[in-house]
Amino acid sequence: MFVIDVKEKNYCPTLEEIDQYIKNSVFTQFCIEIKDAYQCDEKIEYSSCSWEKGWNVKWKKAGKTLCTIYPREGYFTVLVVVGKKEKARVEEILSDCTAELQRIYHQTQEGNGQRWLMVDLEDKDALYCDLMRLIKIRRNR
């Protein structure tokens, strides 16, 4: 079986290859749920950013990025941006969220009115549900 190198710029992997690299069924469930909820398709892009170089999966709706997935072996990291327009609504529900998401939110520095929340997902648990709520707020603002 071919295993991708997520840092290799010259080979754009498919979503299936990224799934095989991650080796965690939660990734597949996450992608299906985003696709079904927002009727959008993934966009696989290479980031040359020194902060997170490599292939990622962006989910966009109406020109707005809902979230970005960074593949890891055994899990994946989801980036959700909480901008000025989402901030009040996110802070309204934050006390209902997991302690983990609250910690990530408060430890993430705000810049230009945004917080770039990086959340590692390994299980379909309460943290997974929290992320889905944030993505819904991002979409509906």
At 88-130, the pLDDT tens digits run: 999 999 999 999 999 999 999 999 999 999 999 999 999 999 9
Containing 80, the helix (H) or strand (E) segment is: strand 76-82
* Nearest-angstrom CA–CA distance, 76 and 119: 8
DSSP state of 114: B
Residue 141 clears pLDDT 80, i.e. is over it: no
Contacts of 6 (CB under 8 A, 6+ apart): 13, 18, 21, 54, 55, 71
pTM summary value: 0.92
Own/partner pairs for 64-70, CB < 8 Å, 24+ apart? 64/138, 64/139, 66/34, 66/38, 66/40, 66/135, 66/138, 66/139, 67/34, 67/131, 67/135, 67/138, 69/27, 69/30, 69/31, 70/118
pLDDT tens per residue across span 12-32: 999 999 999 999 999 999 999
pLDDT band at 4 (very low <50, low <70, confident <90, very high): confident
pLDDT at 50: 67
**Average pLDDT of 52-56?**
90
Rg over alpha carbons for the chain, rounded to the nearest Å, is 15
Is domain 15-140 classified as CATH 3.90.1150?
yes
Residue ranges in the chain assigned as alpha helix (H): 15-22, 25-38, 84-93, 99-107, 126-140
- Ordered by start, the domain boundaries in the chain are 15-140
Give the residue, 139 or 51, on which the prediction is more confident. Answer: 139
